[in-house]
Structure 1
């Protein structure tokens, strides 16, 4: 997928911090640190729409000079993007036109303008022919939808991706979609399907933009414990080489899994609490 490496998408990191910032069990001193980190990210990406939302929700204090500065930067960058689109449409080919429109889509995603990002992604899709590139646009939409926890948009985007795969598509993107769908199923409490999708993706995981591999294994173990029978849990999780190489790095997870399987319930509930 374009512009993706083995690092979590920054806005999904930000989304988790925003969740913690509103969670009643997070200590106030921790929330002070989280606010500073959230504001730093907002400043670095000039996220005017998100900043205004958080100010309206009283999660951040309004700084008019900061707001004016970020707006000016956005307007300047948007002007440059529109100039590149105009130049590409007048002087360059279809590929360059698509890339210029994609850059504008990613700009709106970066600053946290959901509605304009979705509109621009549709425009970009209209300039896109290759199935793989159209799939990448769906992944961008899914990342945006997960940031806002828009379950309707997530569901529709997953269905759209599956329809695209009927036209073609490579295995790497198909395997990536399994993890996205698994995360959606876990979020909507369909733990059995989430576990099946995660387990299918263990040996092919490349979806680092969603979360690190350790987090993926954590989710896989948790959903499997809830949904698998004892024999399947042993075969697919307890003895799985991919899980065994990582589980020791995740605090209490090995004890949590193995004490349940071994019927050591005192140890299980101790690990559960931790």
Structure 2
């Protein structure tokens, strides 16, 4: 698949291609710094063509100049991603200095002559300027000062969202985690549903980026009908993430109810190449079609900055799901029958299954001589019985400890 087709799968017809980093979405625009972050990711990706990288490099330079991102310009030059122009760098520093003087004057004027609301707005403007120029440390410091000038819970939440966007730009998971925890504490004081739903998407993206696909799927599905987080990505991209995380996280019944038949997903899934076939062929047990769609869906995953670090893991998990689903219907099945069902060779199935069986991912064994797979699924009732005994022993130990305390 060409890179251009990959980009098309991530945006609606009215939205600009995400790979080119232009603002996305019908109802809102993607945050410019996250657009830039994706371009920088593609610029360092080995699967992107050199010609494409030349264009991306020009767009990155333009974005850095427009937003006066002097520190990023220096770091990219130091890592040989871009060539440095001393005159351009000096010009950016001069504009930054002039703008900071204006902002400081505005803050001083507000503190002397205006009210608390104007003072807060002046500090917020300075925070946003530091975010614009990519000065992470000063932005976080100024956001903290702005928070001290802020009373309303909703406005404090908006500051947390700015911090989260900064965290996703730098992929600073420690900052993101702390900000999510902070937002949840703020919601204990109050907060509107719109911001709570937005936070679910931010947390879902964090969970997906840190390989917690189960929680990410649940959070995305909770937000599917209330999505407004266009500053992170378009709705089409959101559906893409939702389907991918759900396939390896949900059981068959839940997948049907929450994803396959979900009207919100059905409205856009057809726009995303291979995704509809990938989902429906799995549910309909059309394994040849599934493997065909599976090969088409790999490149969009590799070219996504949030999913790419987990590419190999996700590929293994998807294959585990589809092989387990196939074997669930049989006590025993020939290797040839399974190979035919998947449209691959017997040797391929033999090698694949042996790896998953050795890793404990599949509950079956291979009779190489007879060319047969024999399933040995664990006894659910026996496992429940053992778990009950274990929990009972734990409860008795707790009761004994408690009785000794009471006797004292």
Cross-structure match for 1:230: 252
CA distance in 1, matches of 2:131, 2:30: 15
Determine which of 28, 33, 39 is the counterpart of 2:50: 28
The structure whose Rg is larger is 2
Given the alignment of the two structures, is residue 132 of structure 1 paired with residue 154 of structure 2, yes or no? yes
Unaligned runs of 5+ in 2: 1-26, 297-408
SS in 2 for 1:17: helix
Q: Out of 199-208 and 256-265, give the one that drifted further.
A: 256-265
Cross-structure match for 2:110: 88
Given the alignment of the two structures, is residue 203 of structure 1 paired with residue 225 of structure 2, yes or no? yes
Instruction: State how many pairs are aligned.
Output: 270
SS in 1 for 2:224: helix
CA distance in 2, matches of 1:151, 1:25: 25
CA distance in 2, matches of 1:57, 1:78: 28
**TM-score normalized by the length of structure 1:** 0.97
Give the CA deviation at 1:29: 1.2
**TM-score normalized by the length of structure 2:** 0.66
SS in 2 for 1:204: coil
Cross-structure match for 2:195: 173
Give the CA deviation at 1:18: 0.8
Q: Out of 264-273 and 136-145, give the one that drifted further.
A: 264-273
Which has the bigger relative contact order, CA under 8 A and spacing at least 6?
A: 1
CA distance in 1, matches of 2:115, 2:289: 64
Deviation per CA, 1:54-94, whole angstroms, max 9, x where unpaired?
11111000011110111111111111000000000000000
CA distance in 2, matches of 1:245, 1:271: 19
Cross-structure match for 1:239: 261
Determine which of 11, 28, 31 is the counterpart of 1:6: 28
**RMSD value, Cα:** 0.7
Q: Which has the higher helix share?
A: 1
CA distance in 1, matches of 2:108, 2:53: 45
Cross-structure match for 2:170: 148
Cross-structure match for 1:64: 86
Determine which of 241, 251, 261 is the counterpart of 1:219: 241
Unaligned runs of 5+ in 1: none
CA distance in 2, matches of 1:78, 1:271: 52
Q: Out of 24-33 and 171-180, give the one that drifted further.
A: 24-33
Give the CA deviation at 1:252: 1.0
Give the CA deviation at 1:271: 1.1
Cross-structure match for 2:310: none
CA distance in 2, matches of 1:185, 1:265: 29
Deviation per CA, 1:133-160, whole angstroms, max 9, x where unpaired?
0000000000000000000000000000
Superposed structure 1 runs of 4+ greater than 4 Å apart: none
CA distance in 1, matches of 2:185, 2:262: 32
Deviation per CA, 1:3-36, whole angstroms, max 9, x where unpaired?
xx71110100111111111111212111111111
